[in-house]
A and B are shown apart, each in its own frame.
Chain A
Amino acid sequence: MLAWTIYLSFAGALLLALLPKGRNTLARWLALAVAVGGLALGVRGFADGMGQGRVTIVDLAWVPSMGIHFLLAADGISRVLVLLTGLAAVAGVLFSWNIELRTNEFFAFFLALIGGVYGVFLSFDLFLLFVFYEIAIVPKYFLIAIWGSTRREYAAMKLALYSFVGSAMVLIGLLASYAASGAHSTGLVDLAHAGLPVSFQMWCFPLVFTGFAILAGMWPFHTWAPTGHVAAPTAASMLLAGVVMKLGAYGCLRVGIALFPHGLDPWGFSFIGIGSWRDVFALLAVIGIVYGALVALVQTDFKFVIGYSSVSHMGFVLLGLMTLNQIGVTGAVLQMFSHGILAGLLFAIVGRIVYERTHTRQLAALETMHLSRRMPFAAWAFVVAGMASMGLPGFSGFVAELQVLIGAWMVRPWWVAAAGVGIVVGVAYTWRTLQKAFFSDGVPSAHELEQEHGHKFAAITWPEVTGVVMLTGVSLFVGLYPKILLDAIEPAVKALLAGGGQ
């Protein structure tokens, strides 16, 4: 069932690419239909998979001489992330409804990217996973380079180069583990059971983990993320922050931690309190949390605020992974879902709802526009999204970050103290942005009022309302009833941590 998410997306992409130019409305509806279809399959797969462990979906020999299989399977983690991808895809199409430039190509690239993402989350063969991972890079580049804004060629190139460097590291790790395991298979389960030598894991783990973590926005390799997010068209920002960064984090967990558990063992010596790769990456994660939040606090461009906030929030995912305990890793996966929803929502508000009407993202300029009166829907949508993003209880982010912090506390309490600073700064930048962009206090002069009357903003359209309601609804629902996702994530995390026994 879940495999069809991949086929459907690629088929949709192909169909859209072949669609004659000028059929924009048809292209939109077709893309929406494919995205909704993918989401429906994801929901069905999620519901069917309740209470089940890892289920193999397809297993075909692909390159028998190397033991490469076309092996698709899903456990609770995959199912949750497939669900996220489906939601992000539908929301992305809804918030790209106004794209008029080469519409069919845009949606073709968009669906190809989605298909690649589904593929990564469902691959249980390392080689296959890598193929899908690479497939996802190409449409990303074109989406930014063709439909982007601020310095789009630079941003697209930077993103592509960072991604390729990360991929190269992963590829080296892939080949080395294939050779070292002697299992004549690239299946994740086979590799995990192959008993890779500890010394091998010690050098291969940081390589692969860093390779994936680049895409997860780990400090100091995060710099592609803010520029990429800002330059990308709205739907691409939503996907970049919403699901592509999750590809990196997912790879860190599914490949890095699961295949090389001993790579996290202590080195046997410690240098300024750091005695293992685990300490190193946790430190980088914590720096990312605090640094991302602090940089977001001083941005003048609305979209950059959200861009850096993503770096901060993804820091929680990486920190959760490095706790290596049930509660922290579960929190990390939940945070992937939660951030996917919320980053998408925030980018949609900034890039589509606000920017397409005001044609500026400078906070100083927005301050003079009285947006809370002129665009109340956007203002209140941002209030809700901001509350959720800063981790207020009742929204998905709270449960996720709480679990990450609890998990981290069980290992190293000082990580929590540092991450706590990030949370407080998170409240500060969210509130600052909210006040500057929407609720600035200035009383409009008569002249301004006249001008405002002259330039009424275009009315909010139905795809925008639908998208906002869907994403806030999901975040609220998961925040109030986290059990629905936790029931799927927890057994899968438990199995994964119990010695790679995926």
Chain B
Amino acid sequence: MSGFPILTLLTVLPLVGAAIALWAGKHARGVALITTFCSLAVALWVWTQLPVNGSIGLVEQHPWAPSLAIEYHLGVDGLGALMLVLSAIVTLMSVDAAHRVHHQPGLYFGLVLVLEAGLFGSFTALNFFHWFLFWELSLIPAFFLIKLWGGARRGPAATQFFVYTMAGSVALLVAFLAVFLSTGGSDGPGTMDFGQLTAMAQTGALERAVTAHLGSGFLGVSVPLWLAIGVLAGFAVKVPMIPFHTWLPAAYAEAPSPVTMLLTGAMSKMGVYGLLRIALPIFGAQIAQIRTPLLVLAVATVVMGAWAAAAQKDLKRVFAYSSVNHLGYCLLGIFALAVPATNAATLASQAAALNGVILQMFNHGVTAAALFWFVAMIQTRTGGHRGIDDFGGLRKPAPVLAGLMGIALFSSLGLPGLNGFVGEFLIFRGVFPLAWVAATVSILGLLVTAAVILTVIQKVFSGPVPERLVNFPDLHHDERMALAPVIGLMLLIGILPQLIVNSVNPTVQNLLAHWRF
């Protein structure tokens, strides 16, 4: 059980880096680069140490606040470890991209590293208290990164982001308080441990305890269902799911691009991860009850996200809505698989969908972060232009930029051979047998996304070159070196998805075996 506390180390590492960066002045970026590089190394090492049977490994468990039965309980399975690797990659990319922070660089990189610690902490926590601490911890640096380094309308964007996420958090907290109280009895306090709650949910004991403690229902809806709705609301804001997405376009557009990379690449995954680690295991039966309306919202997220992206004129907003669309596929997969597995075929579909969701989380993280990085590069070269109509023919002055960004765009489109395809394919493979109407309507989203991406490619890279863009500089050597591994990763996963699937699939089987719908 106990060995070297590698996960604690991984969480503390960015905090130490942050403390150093705060005092490092203009060397802060260097400190941040070293820290995030080390974090990535540790995260990759964790990835290699997973138990082969897909269960939770590298467990650290110590009493924390015994009166509340709160434990310091950490561990990762394939899902958690993949998210650690993703967070480390995205943070490294973000720090790499942020080479033009002149205003208080120490504070900027300090906050970025605190955010990374928040990500690591929430992806390793196995107790609600601990998880919630890091979930909230990541919110504060994100707020200030938008508020202090954002674009012209950063104030309202930051506040909106903060208020929405906070409201979601309160819903989550209230639901978990209720769970905690219901599971307790005269003999002692209840539990907030994800593993124990999952086990209780599997036998139906949790539902009985909640009903016994809090009554049978309120406004015609059973209490366990209310709690499930509270928990879902918290995650729906973070992912986001329509109609809880309205904070997102402003926040993504106003945040400096490297911060947007973090928001979309890593922070949005906290929401999806929460659905997989917390909502489905503990409230699976309730989610299955309201599966149809949830599927409707997921499909709406897919389709409307894509449509909204098509209507945008600002590249950052295009990609912001496109992110909504891409995470909509995750939601689609998650809610579609919430059915009782009556036979082997259903189980296989569920496994496919879940594998797809997890892959999609990773792939979207890498691809979306890369896209915002490209936007940042274009923006710095043109003095702040990022309107979709501001450009034209960029492939002539900047062929390398056009080529590499093209790969990222096609990955986002879901072209076979690139990483974006694998996840979406598996999700649709799983969802079709489980919810064919939802899958069919969602195809519309795929088509519109394709149209959006192709429009971007056409308007930015093709056509005549405007006079002022003739001398548009191509990527210089450092940028190529920095981007090469990212683009390489997209190709690698597109061609060899088993690199991830082989480790994730046992976890998927293990998770499905413990969920009850």
Residues of A within 8 A of B (CB): 327, 330, 372, 376, 383, 387, 392-394, 399, 402-403, 405-406, 409-410, 413, 416, 420, 423-424, 427, 431, 435, 439, 441, 481-483, 486, 490
The 19 sampled A-B contact pairs (Cβ below 8 Å) are A372-B148, A376-B107, A383-B144, A393-B129, A393-B133, A393-B137, A394-B133, A394-B136, A399-B68, A405-B177, A406-B68, A406-B177, A413-B214, A424-B167, A431-B163, A483-B63, A483-B65, A483-B66, A490-B67
Q: Provide the residues of chain A in CB contact with B162, threshold 8 Å.
A: 431
A-contacting residues, B170-227, CB 8 Å? 170, 174, 177-178, 180-181, 189, 214
Measured CB to CB, the nearest residue on chain B to A417 is B174
- The answer, yes or no, to whether B432 is at the interface (CB within 8 Å) is no
> Complex: how many Å from CA A394 to CA B129?
9
From A327, A383, A439, A481, contact of B67 by CB (8 A) = A327
Scoring B residues 127 to 147 as 1 if CB is less than 8 Å from chain A, else 0, what string do you get? Answer: 001001100110010001001
How distant is A381 from chain B, measured CB to nearest CB, in Å? 14
Kindly state the separation between the CA atoms of A383 and B66 in the bound complex, as whole angstroms. 30
* B contact patch SS: helix
B132 near A393 with CB under 8 A, answer: yes
B64 interface residue per 8 A CB criterion: yes
B140 touches A387 (CB 8 A): yes
Contact B177–A439 (Cβ < 8 Å): no
User: How many angstroms between the C-alpha atoms of A173 and B149 in the bound complex?
Assistant: 60
Closest partner residue, chain B, to A490 (CB atom): B67
A-B contacts besides A392-B140, A393-B136, A410-B181, 11 pairs, CB < 8 Å: A327-B189, A393-B137, A403-B68, A405-B177, A406-B68, A406-B177, A427-B166, A439-B148, A441-B155, A483-B63, A483-B64
Q: When chains A and B are docked, how far (Å) is the Cα of A330 from the Cα of B67?
A: 10
Q: Is the CB of B170 within 8 A of A423?
A: yes
Query: B214 — which chain A residues lie within 8 A by C-beta?
Result: 413
> Which of B65, B148, B167, B177 is in CB contact (< 8 Å) with A486?
B65
Judge whether B55 is part of the interface by a CB distance below 8 angstroms: no
Do residues A409 and B177 form an inter-chain contact, with CB atoms below 8 A? yes
Asked whether B137 lies within 8 Å of A394 as measured between CB atoms, the reply is yes
Question: Which residue, A393, A420, A439, has most C-beta atoms of chain B within 10 A?
Answer: A393
What is the bound-complex CA distance between A441 and B214, given in angstroms? 46
Q: A392-B136, A410-B181 are in contact. Are A420 and B170 (CB under 8 A)?
A: yes
Please, which residues of chain A bring their CB within 8 A of the CB of B189? Answer: 327
Contact B159–A402 (Cβ < 8 Å): no
Task: Indicate the member of A410, A481, A482 with the most B CB atoms within 10 Å.
Answer: A482
Are B133 and A486 within 8 A (Cβ)?
A: no
Question: In the complex the two chains form, what is the Cα distance from A409 to B173 in whole Å?
Answer: 14
A420–B174 touching, CB < 8 Å? yes
CB neighbours of A427 from chain B (8 A): 166
Q: How far apart are the CA atoms of A482 and B155 in the complex, in Å?
A: 35
Given the contacts A330-B67, A420-B170, A424-B170, A406 and B159 also touching, CB distance less than 8 Å: no
A486 → chain B closest CB, angstroms: 5
Q: Which residues of A contact B163 (CB under 8 A)?
A: 431
Q: Mark B446-485, 1 if CB is under 8 A from A, else 0.
A: 0000000000000000000000000000000000000000
Q: Is the CB of B177 within 8 A of A482?
A: no
In the A-B complex, list the 5 residue pairs whose CB atoms are closest, starting with the nearest: A393-B133, A441-B155, A394-B133, A482-B65, A486-B67
Separation of A324 and B142 alpha carbons in the complex (Å): 40
